[in-house]
Structure 1
Amino acid sequence: LGPYPGLLAQGKELLGTLPIALLLLLLCGLDWALYSVFDTIRQHSFQQYSFRSSHKLEVKVGGDSMLARLLRKTIGALNTSSDTVVESNNLPCLPQPVCMDARAYWRASLPIVLLVCLCLAQAFGYRLRRVIAAFYFPKREKKRVLFLYNDLLRKRAAFTKLRRALIIRRAQQQRGPRHHLVDTLHHRCPLLRRWLRRRCVVCQAPETPESYVCPTPECEAVYCQSCWNDMKKLCPVCTPREELSSSAYSDSNDDLKYAE
């Protein structure tokens, strides 16, 4: 991400949304767990009660006298009978959880999705800002483009020098004398030859029969076939720098013409 500061800023913005997304995920998981617990309590704690009672009150007064007849008329009104049936349950005391549907989860996660989309589209907003500034300040935009172009050329030349120095250092390491134990293992253990073979000084690929070995006695650098073709069949280790073609190895003076 070093050469691309826009991607680096975009990555930081996305990392900033990660805690919010994790918090939302935690809350959704907690909501589902609480719903499961309360629903289990509601299903297994339900109880229903039934109460039945009946009574009959009857007062009998015997006799044919006037007092007996008076008492029968007066106390007879107290004769009652009733049957009572009462049914009840603990449903009002139990929790009544409501599960969130898919639409509710989508509404909860919609702000996070919009935030991620804004982070991804942030680079386009920066580009639009540059286009607007270039429209009103064209000279300033020209200076900016020239500065970036020249800076790219300088970095390209520096990278080419470092890459050529790395290839030369690898070639020098290959020319160095190997330990006699390594040579013995290379000749007597065919299974270990794969790890004891020399490698391409450019891509570090193991040496194969198709690999090219520089015929210069003091060089003998190893190149795989693809790297040798990419180098336009010029060895950067033993070839003078001024003889390297810019198309083969981009460190010639033709590539260092800065714009003004």
Structure 2
Amino acid sequence: KQTLLPLLKEESSSFIFPCKPAVQRPELQYMVMELLRCIPFLLFLLFVCGLDHFLYSILSIIQHHSFIEYSYQTSHHLSVNVMGTSLMAQLLRSTIGALNTSFESGMETSNRACLPQPTGMTRQQYLYTCLPLGALALLCLAQVYPFRLRRAIAAFYFPKREKTRVLFLYNKLLRQRKNFLHLQRGRVARQARQPPELGTVLLRWCRRRWPWMRRCLRQRCTLCGTPETPEHQPCPNPDCFALYCESCW
């Protein structure tokens, strides 16, 4: 019976492992798409904040340069002098003397009540305005972890459907692995028929001449390209210099 474990490097990159704390490649693509959807809201928020600051600046300039203050002062003196010492003159002085008045008045006014009184937003208010958008971005980053529970919840309520899904995935991976191995065998055969490049020949000669240089001049797996480790297996053919990792071997 064929088994799928351990998964190949190319296969494991397309799966989501629920116990891994890091964001994985399939989740990263979905997370980036969700963050891109937040860009219109961010642009709208920046536009609104910029428009608010622009209007506040315009109204402040109008308030500062259009302020006019009026100051008005006036004085009035009225004096009636009746000459003479007769009885009629004394009577007129006592009667018309009440008309003698003297007063001074001053008045100050301005157009302050007609001018706009703008109030700018503080940094804290701007922060509170941007806080919901920041929370939305954090939810886009953190939603990948609750989404990992979707399959477990669906399997709990629909076990037969889960069994069908697992069987379909098993057969699909077997077909993909079979096609993958067939394609890789053809690629390795084509590479073997081609003459090696000068750099490859020089690298092999240095590795044979100075074995201690193998730590620096490490080969890679012929199929998946992983760097050489002690678990890598060389090709049994002495004329072939191919190297394979444990999973590809």
Gaps of 5+ in 2: 1-12, 15-24, 209-216, 222-227
- Equivalents in 1 of 2:142, 2:171: separation in Å? 29
Please report how far the alpha carbon of residue 155 of structure 1 lies from its aligned counterpart in structure 2 after TM superposition: 3.2
Relative distance call for 1:53 and 1:168 in structure 2 (3 A) is: farther
**Corresponding position of 1:247:** 246
State whether residues 210 and 225 of structure 1, in contact with CA within 8 Å, keep that contact through their aligned partners in structure 2.
no
Please report how far the alpha carbon of residue 97 of structure 1 lies from its aligned counterpart in structure 2 after TM superposition: 1.9
Please report how far the alpha carbon of residue 22 of structure 1 lies from its aligned counterpart in structure 2 after TM superposition: 1.0
TM-score, structure 1 as length reference: 0.62
The CA deviation string for residues 184-239 of structure 1, in whole angstroms up to 9 with x for no partner, is xxxxxxxxxxxx95469xxxxx9586468xxxxxxxxxxx6331646522289x87
CA RMSD of aligned residues (A): 3.6
**Corresponding position of 2:69:** 48
What code does the residue aligned with 1:233 have?
Answer: P
Is 1:141–2:162 an aligned residue pair?
A: yes
Identity %: 44
- Equivalents in 2 of 1:199, 1:87: separation in Å? 96
State whether residues 232 and 248 of structure 1, in contact with CA within 8 Å, keep that contact through their aligned partners in structure 2.
no
Say which of 103, 125, 132 aligns to 2:124.
103
- Equivalents in 2 of 1:68, 1:55: separation in Å? 25
What code does the residue aligned with 1:247 have?
Answer: E
Say which of 57, 64, 86 aligns to 1:36.
57
TM-score, structure 2 as length reference: 0.65
Please report how far the alpha carbon of residue 32 of structure 1 lies from its aligned counterpart in structure 2 after TM superposition: 2.0
Segment of structure 1 superposing worse, 27-36 or 165-174: 165-174
SS at match of 1:226: coil
- Number of aligned residue pairs: give it: 208
Written as runs of structure 1 = structure 2, the 5 A alignment for 1:67-82 is 67-82=88-103
**Corresponding position of 1:119:** 140
State whether residues 78 and 101 of structure 2, in contact with CA within 8 Å, keep that contact through their aligned partners in structure 1.
yes
**Corresponding position of 1:234:** 235
Written as runs of structure 1 = structure 2, the 5 A alignment for 1:1-260 is 3=14, 5-169=26-190, 174=195, 198=199, 210=206, 225-227=218-220, 229=228, 232-234=233-235, 247=246, 249=248
Please report how far the alpha carbon of residue 57 of structure 1 lies from its aligned counterpart in structure 2 after TM superposition: 1.2
Please report how far the alpha carbon of residue 19 of structure 1 lies from its aligned counterpart in structure 2 after TM superposition: 0.6
